[in-house]
Chain A
């Protein structure tokens, strides 16, 4: 049984431990080795710990069942351990190892370097080495307060299993009973001097940062279905459709921020706002997405930042010598480790409001991690015990310096790109250039709000009056002021208008027929749209806008499409009209015998025995008999609404005989001219025929359709037969290049066929080679007896003609 599964079954950390939970936790501890259990008991209980495994387990269970005891255990933890648990709690209590371990390093607290050989081996660390970036995680695991789980990279979820196979698929979860006791422990400030230069930078306002995400959500709503590729990725045509809906100016691309559309799409998936279809075809949006999009920017930005930390498939521009292969991009990888390191370190700045040089920040990260982390492979450090302590320290310093230089080449450019790419785009950092051409950054108000809890001033608080967030012009363009637009304003605009461009604090949208239609389809009434637009408008709405929206709304009622609906068919109008009062109120009479039921038929109706049910989602009824002559007859007892029109596409109705049709050359050619194919006609007929289509029709239909590429039609010919006396002579004639052009085909060991028009040439050659008497040079007259001279070594025979057969 897996660790975390036990926890999931009993999610309430405040509830008293009942016997079932106690039993499951006992099973968890029983999975551990005896010395591990004893070590835990000593850790939690000190001298009171027993020495036998089962007794220790009983003691551990007693601690977990008693909140005060558990609180005592928590209070005894080191600052490093408390900080680690706090960071894990902030991320929801579970994290992949590759994301969590760098956070522990970045927090900057001292942890135990004692080597746990068992854990080192499990994490694939060099035997005996405590140097890897996973060492702080191993140290935290010694508290016994973490569980092992397996990461499912495809569904982006953490699944429960007891078996750890690979670091990339390994995660940790906190014991839930510990949750109420965990207190905030921020990371230790970095040793990082601020910039002394006076700087002026570029940044994105919260609304500017939110806009692409909101636009993308609306584009995803309308883009339709798709199927994942074989590798589980989104197909390129689907992404192109989204980008097209988003329009030009969706997001500027740069070397630090490649493929913005791909970034935002993966961000929404990583933040679990959007779920990819594993089995179906429709992309699923979080049902609460409209509520999420209306949350304060600081709340939304926290989701984005956590999404960025775990984001897969999309990646920053990698250094030339670093490679991530196809499958790596779908799993937690070393990029996630660097991202989490950077984001955690941004929460450890000495002064959250100051400017910092990116290079100095990078050096500070290297120092904080003691060079343990890298995008690629790192040569592990093994002390050489034959050297003196001073010599070892010198060797280690040289090793560390090599790593630092490698860090400057590999990780530092990536850190710079993370700051000026995704983190800038999310509105969390401001970027400026230094006089020495380097880059500097500082947190924006939004960044400080997310990472340090500093309240963010937003234009209006919830419940206040709507701000004057836009002006609507007579040409139906909406000029939106991003420094005043609330999250719900942006979300509303994205539903009703198409974004055209954005420059600094202003974005331009356009209300079009298509965008209004999408809003109506989303459930808005015209009055709701007008009310929403007026609420945040600087001035009164233009008359042309009101008129246009009302006209488009009216036009929408002119044509109504009912996909996959239900229809009742009565015997006649009287029956239909008599039944109407007993049908649901949404029932609509159609024509003389039909009733449309948009909400489906009532069960009482479908349960009746005298009711026939036809389901057009199932295979169609085989109700057509087909003869060799092309006569088609529909069985009226089995016919559905569509069969007559299907036959009418390629057959002609028989006048005066309902349900009878004929398939002819003319009807097939008419169908082909209308765009049908012979294969399509045969397939359509095949799905309706009660038995197999007569083979002669299967052969005829393509010929009637004048299909190119079919074998040539059958034909009748008159041939001469050249019969030679021996096989040797026949072989000689066949090998002769003078005879070869005349020989049509081999009929037997001594016979060939010759075309009538070649008879004269054949006779000359035969005579030349003494194979034919001179008298037999000319073709014999019909009815004459050949002379003895013509009965020579060779003879040509003409198949009997009708005249010869008639004795003329």
Chain B
């Protein structure tokens, strides 16, 4: 999809094809960020329980989470 280029900041921005990880507990997200394999892939914190992950790293994040003993739910849906 083509990027649109506004002249001034707009009240609403739609981010598409962005990968998000959420946790049910802020401490859990802190623990994940401290993990040396998973942490570098968690790029932008949106809230205390949500973070944007590096594009293209979804499978790697899922794999590292499984190895670390977590059971992430993967929600694939339309964009």
Q: A566-B18, A612-B4, A642-B55 are in contact. Are A558 and B50 (CB under 8 A)?
A: no
Bound-state CA distance A675–B1 (Å) is 33
Q: A591-B46, A612-B4 are in contact. Are A561 and B58 (CB under 8 A)?
A: yes
On chain A, the residues within 8 Å of B62 by CB distance are 561
The answer on a CB contact under 8 Å between A566 and B72 is: no
Closest residue of A by beta carbon distance from B32: A559
A567-605 with Cβ < 8 A to chain B: 567-571, 575, 579, 586, 588, 590-592, 594, 596, 598-601, 605
- Shortest A609–chain B CB gap in Å is 9
A563 at the interface (CB under 8 A from B): yes
CB-defined interface of A527-560 with B at 8 Å, one 1/0 digit per residue? Answer: 0000000000000000000000000100111111
Say whether A568 contacts B12, CB under 8 Å: yes
Q: Does A142 contact B (CB under 8 A)?
A: no
Residue of B nearest to A514 (CB): B66
A642 and B44 contact, CB distance less than 8 A? yes
- Kindly provide the distance from the CB of A517 to the nearest chain B CB, expressed in whole angstroms: 5
Contact B71 A562 (CB under 8 A): no
Residue pair B15, A559 in contact (C-beta under 8 Å): no
A610 contacts chain B at the CB level, 8 A cutoff = yes
CA distance A592 to B17 in the complex (A): 21
From residue B5, how far is it (CB to closest CB) to chain A in Å?
7
Q: How near does chain B come to A525, taking the closest CB pair, in angstroms?
A: 12
Q: Does chain B have a CB within 8 A of A230? A: no
Q: Is B34 an interface residue (CB 8 A)?
A: no
Q: Known contacts A610-B11, A614-B16: does B46 contact A594 (CB below 8 Å)?
A: yes
Chain B residues closer than 8 Å to A196, beta-carbon distance: none
A566 & B50 in contact (Cβ 8 Å cutoff): no
Question: How many Cβ-Cβ contacts under 8 Å join chain A to chain B?
Answer: 201
Is A470 interfacial (CB 8 A cutoff)? no
Residues B38-73 near A (CB distance < 8 A): 40, 43-44, 46-47, 49-50, 52-55, 58-59, 61-62, 65-66, 70-73
Task: Report how many residues on chain B are interfacial, defined by Cβ distance under 8 Å.
Answer: 54
Q: A561-B72, A566-B15, A618-B2 are in contact. Are A637 and B8 (CB under 8 A)?
A: yes
Complex Cα distance A591/B19, Å? 16
Beta-carbon contact of B3 and A614 below 8 Å? yes
Q: A559-B23, A613-B3, A613-B4 are in contact. Are A605 and B14 (CB under 8 A)?
A: yes
A513 touching B50, Cβ below 8 Å: no
Cβ-defined contact, B5 with A614, below 8 A: no
- Which residues of A have CB within 8 Å of B61? 561
Q: Closest B-chain residue to A594, C-beta based?
A: B46
Q: Given A558-B23, A562-B75, A598-B77 in contact, is the A614-B13 Cβ separation under 8 Å? A: yes
CB of B79 within 8 A of CB of A559, answer no
Contact present for B70 and A612 (CB under 8 Å): no
Interface size class, chain A: 35 or more
Rounded to whole angstroms, the CA-CA distance of A557 and B71 in the bound complex is 8
Assess the B52–A641 pair: CB atoms within 8 A.
yes
Smallest Cβ-Cβ distance to B12: which chain A residue: A611
The chain B residue with its CB closest to the CB of A648 is: B43
CB pair A638–B5 under 8 Å, yes or no, is yes
CA distance A606 to B62 in the complex (A): 30
A555:B71 contact, CB within 8 angstroms: yes
Bound Cα distance A590, B61 (Å): 20
Contact B16 A615 (CB under 8 A): yes
A616 touches B47 (CB 8 A): no
CA A640 – CA B17 in complex, angstroms?
A: 12
Query: CB distance A560 to B16 under 8 Å?
Result: no
How far in angstroms is the closest Cβ of chain B from A99? 40
A644 on the B face (CB < 8 A): yes
Q: Tell whether, in the assembled complex, residue B58 and residue A613 are in contact, meaning their CB atoms are under 8 Å apart.
A: no
Give the chain A neighbours of B9 by CB distance below 8 A: 571, 636-637
CB distance from B48 to the nearest CB of A (A): 8
CA distance A560 to B11 in the complex (A): 28
B22's partner among A590, A606, A613 (CB-CB below 8 A) is: A590
The answer on a CB contact under 8 Å between B16 and A568 is no
Complex Cα gap A566–B16 (Å): 5
Q: Cα distance A605–B14 when bound, in Å? A: 9
| Contact of B6 (CB < 8 Å), options: A557, A590, A596, A612 | A612
* Distance A568 CA – B12 CA, assembled complex (angstroms): 7
With a cutoff of 8 Å between Cβ atoms, the chain A residues found around residue B49 in the complex are 590
Contact B79 A569 (CB under 8 A): no
Instruction: Kindly state the separation between the CA atoms of A590 and B53 in the bound complex, as whole angstroms.
Output: 15
Q: B-facing mask of A28-69, CB < 8 A → 1, else 0?
A: 000000000000000000000000000000000000000000
Residues in B with CB closer than 8 Å to A616 are 15-18, 55
Cβ of B76: which chain A residues have Cβ within 8 Å of it?
563-564
CB distance from A298 to the nearest CB of B (A): 37
Judge whether B50 and A594 touch: CB under 8 Å: yes
**Which residue of B49, B54, B74 has the most chain A CB atoms within 10 A of its CB atom?**
B74
CA distance A606 to B43 in the complex (A): 26
> Could you say which of B3, B10, B78 contacts A618, with CB atoms under 8 Å apart?
B3
20 of the cross-chain contacts (CB-CB < 8 Å) are A224-B59, A556-B72, A559-B28, A561-B21, A563-B58, A565-B19, A567-B18, A569-B13, A571-B12, A590-B20, A590-B46, A591-B46, A611-B12, A612-B13, A615-B1, A616-B55, A618-B3, A638-B5, A641-B15, A642-B54
15 further interface pairs, Cβ-Cβ under 8 Å (given A562-B20, A612-B14): A521-B73, A556-B71, A556-B72, A557-B73, A560-B21, A560-B74, A579-B12, A590-B46, A590-B49, A601-B14, A608-B12, A612-B4, A616-B17, A637-B7, A641-B18
**B residues near A, CB below 8 A?**
1-25, 28, 32, 40, 43-44, 46-47, 49-50, 52-55, 58-59, 61-62, 65-66, 70-79
The interface of chain A, by Cβ under 8 A from chain B, is 224, 513-514, 517, 520-521, 552, 555-571, 575, 579, 586, 588, 590-592, 594, 596, 598-601, 605-606, 608, 610-618, 621, 636-638, 640-642, 644-646, 674-675
In order of increasing CB-CB distance, the 4 nearest A-B pairs are: A591-B47, A617-B17, A563-B58, A645-B43
